[in-house]
Structure 1
């Protein structure tokens, strides 16, 4: 017998694994590595796989059970996981297999009627428990401090009437008073916060009133729109004023639909309940005791069936579960899904009603990132990188541009947080954040300048937008009363962009500055900084209204047409730098002609046929521009900026 390595991503080898598992009553599950033990004839008699540090799909043919094959196989998988950097290995299996794996050094973490979760190796749940105990100890210091303050107040009360009044004042403050029970009451809220809303804030606020110490655990798994680090930061900033609330790291042991394998369940219908029961058992056995928590708080769930079922199972599994009726706005529960929908629709007025001001910078950063993504995904585009090809760029492709966008996003968050202040951030602070972002971008792209121009224009707009939201949050009623709808919002935003750009000195060595030199003063070429100093006049006056009107009409080719509309007007220094002034003017004329034809096709009786023809013309333009090294990169940057401004205008 020997151990063979199979690649589950290779079709032929996957088929071999699937056939073996089916023979043993199991289904195939997501894995990156599979080890098979074969007999002298090359037939698979045992096998097991790995996904990260989780062992999956372990099976031994009935004829070979009891031959210590399982021991050999599991030892091999653990060793391989260790080689990949995992000192701790987990597995999900049927309850009947518990004793087998306990004999192989695995220990039980959680159990449910249809499954158990086990682990082996150093660290693991013990490390998590110790970390949580330290957090609890820190919260105890708060309790002792309160106790000392109370004793001091008592002494003051006995000595003077003035201290009586001081104590009365102290008791009326929002600082929670220590409970008189010998065992402090502690509670836990577990939430995803994608993003953090006023509904989340309301639940935490209500829960904090019922316990001496409330721990808020943010779900760690990163399968949400907002990354874990962002979600945790939003919660921390949103509840900073609640002194008896501690925001803690999410447990790596939270079990979700994404992490729970189903290959060994007889019925897939059992998967959701089994996943939830394991998650609750982990909380009951390890998380809650480590924190000294006896109460679990949740919000009522009016719409989502799975969450409602989770709440039901929580009541059955835990001793003290307290539900808070969800906060409502305009007759509907405040939810993160409502916020995400408003983000898709560019409805900032609704977003403001659903989230605390501390969440808005993160939303603004995401809208900026989504704008860059929308520009990249627009296909076809003339001479630019898109889903079909690399355009006129030999050093860029779609994957590289995607990596660049992903790299820039955390810096968009940083810029938004800079802007979210009572006064505009200094030029130095903005410049330093931009330099840091550019260095990260170049490191991620191996030195290729993918989004330098977009970083400048989008960075200014992000700071300005965040600052405008800060002003609204500080005096919302008065500001919205003074402003006449979206137009005044845009005027104020444009003014702020001008103020930020004015602090930037003239540039040297950029495509814009070099394009000006090529013009030799014969024409008034405007670079990126010039356009910013003017507050992107053409964008606000022409391109944005054009884009918004197409979007209102639900035009499927809104972004294609808006790009062409921008190309009609913009002195694209990227085109001039790559070619010459005459070619740049030719690009303007061709874009105007194609846009006019595209618009006529939209209203023609044979609309679909005409639009198909215009798309072919756009693809032809793409091929010709690629061959001639023409890339309207400046127009692409302005398309991203137009999309972003369009998403925050109301």
Structure 2
């Protein structure tokens, strides 16, 4: 796929060269972008024949980022040339490409072959392109679907970083109260505990439950692939979190609920994470009006009324080398893992980072 245009010259940037970083940062800043060279794998820039920078584009993995063209060149082929350049590069490694943009840019990307997944006005639209798409994920869901004629079908979405007794309680409660439960595990490896480890610890503890079906979250369930906020520098963080959550909930409602006939979604109450709290609020706003009951289950405590179990407390204890203080927060699978040599790399990683994840 290529766009030939002799009026423009493409150039790949060196992301460790201060001059190149300054060049793209100064171009993007007046267009409303805060360029972060650590947030991309590759950046290109487009010049006209006078050597003037007229556009740029980047990608991080399968996500296109910082795609922008100077206002006076937006009527020409510059935008298409940048996007095509990035597609040609990314599609070699990934079968699937995402772009997140403001809703006003929807039609431009659609004109280049992208398909809209969801929009949360006025901040976000998410589109995709490639050999795989949301229908591929829906086919995966169909392969797991179990037909039931009576009883409720519930969904629980968890990250489990790591898997705690709080998660176990929520999932087991859903299984006791419903005919079938689909447990979506966030798949993207942005957490301290890898997806494979999280999946394994959950399966070891809960794999015996007949009406529980474990599901990979893919790119569509609380995926960090979703939601780059680099183009929203003028917006309040609380508004961004709310619209991120809305995008995810709308995607769940539109593409997942109908395939699995879900009519309940279980969530834990949230008092620690503003992002998770925003998700719960978005669910309460959109799901009940569309036939999905939201059940917000109070967090359980350990050894005291205010000692709420949370994965973030577990990570903090690991960070401070006080694992013994929170062992009662953990089901046997997680406890055995954290006390084994196999977890050493993860424990060291947590100790050496200051992020919430």
Q: Which bracket does the TM-score occupy, shorter chain normalised?
A: 0.7 to 0.9
Q: How does 1:3-152 map to 2 (within 5 A)?
A: 3-29=10-36, 30-83=39-92, 85-113=93-121, 114-136=123-145, 139-140=146-147, 143=148
| 1:229-286 Cα shifts (integer Å, max 9, x gaps) | 1111111111123211111212222345675222222325232222222221221122
Q: What's 2:4 paired with?
A: none
Contact kept in structure 1, 2:190 and 2:224, CA below 8 Å: no
The number of residue pairs the alignment matches comes to 332
Compared CA separation, residues 210 and 58, structure 1 to 2 (3 A):
same
Q: How does 1:80-479 map to 2 (within 5 A)?
A: 80-83=89-92, 85-113=93-121, 114-136=123-145, 139-140=146-147, 143=148, 181=150, 184-255=151-222, 260-265=227-232, 266-269=234-237, 270-319=239-288, 320-330=293-303, 331=305, 332-344=307-319, 350-365=325-340, 369=344
Deviation at 1:48, TM superposition (A): 1.2
Deviation at 1:38, TM superposition (A): 0.9
Q: Distance in 1 between matches of 2:162 and 2:330?
A: 8
Unmatched 5+ stretches in structure 2 = 1-7, 353-357
Contact kept in structure 1, 2:95 and 2:131, CA below 8 Å: yes
Contact kept in structure 2, 1:218 and 1:248, CA below 8 Å: yes
- What TM-score do you get using the length of structure 2 for normalisation? 0.85
Deviation at 1:293, TM superposition (A): 1.4
- What TM-score do you get using the length of structure 1 for normalisation? 0.48
Q: Distance in 1 between matches of 2:321 and 2:71?
A: 60
Compared CA separation, residues 338 and 108, structure 1 to 2 (3 A):
same
Q: Distance in 2 between matches of 1:38 and 1:282?
A: 37
Compared CA separation, residues 188 and 16, structure 1 to 2 (3 A):
same
Q: How does 1:534-549 map to 2 (within 5 A)?
A: none
State the Cα RMSD in Å.
2.4
Mean CA deviation greater in 363-372 or 248-257: 363-372
- What SS class does the counterpart of residue 296 from structure 2 fall into? strand
Compared CA separation, residues 86 and 329, structure 1 to 2 (3 A):
same
Larger Rg over CA atoms:
1
Q: Distance in 1 between matches of 2:345 and 2:336?
A: 14
Contact kept in structure 2, 1:106 and 1:119, CA below 8 Å: yes
Runs of 4+ aligned residues of structure 1 deviating over 6 Å after TM superposition are none
Deviation at 1:72, TM superposition (A): 1.9
- What SS class does the counterpart of residue 99 from structure 1 fall into? helix
Determine which structure has greater relative contact order: mean sequence separation of CA pairs < 8 Å that are 6+ residues apart, divided by chain length. 2
- What SS class does the counterpart of residue 66 from structure 2 fall into? strand
Q: Distance in 1 between matches of 2:250 and 2:346?
A: 42
Deviation at 1:304, TM superposition (A): 3.0
More helix per residue: 1
Q: How does 1:617-628 map to 2 (within 5 A)?
A: none
Contact kept in structure 1, 2:45 and 2:55, CA below 8 Å: yes
Q: Distance in 2 between matches of 1:371 and 1:49?
A: 30
Q: Distance in 1 between matches of 2:176 and 2:278?
A: 26
Deviation at 1:16, TM superposition (A): 0.6
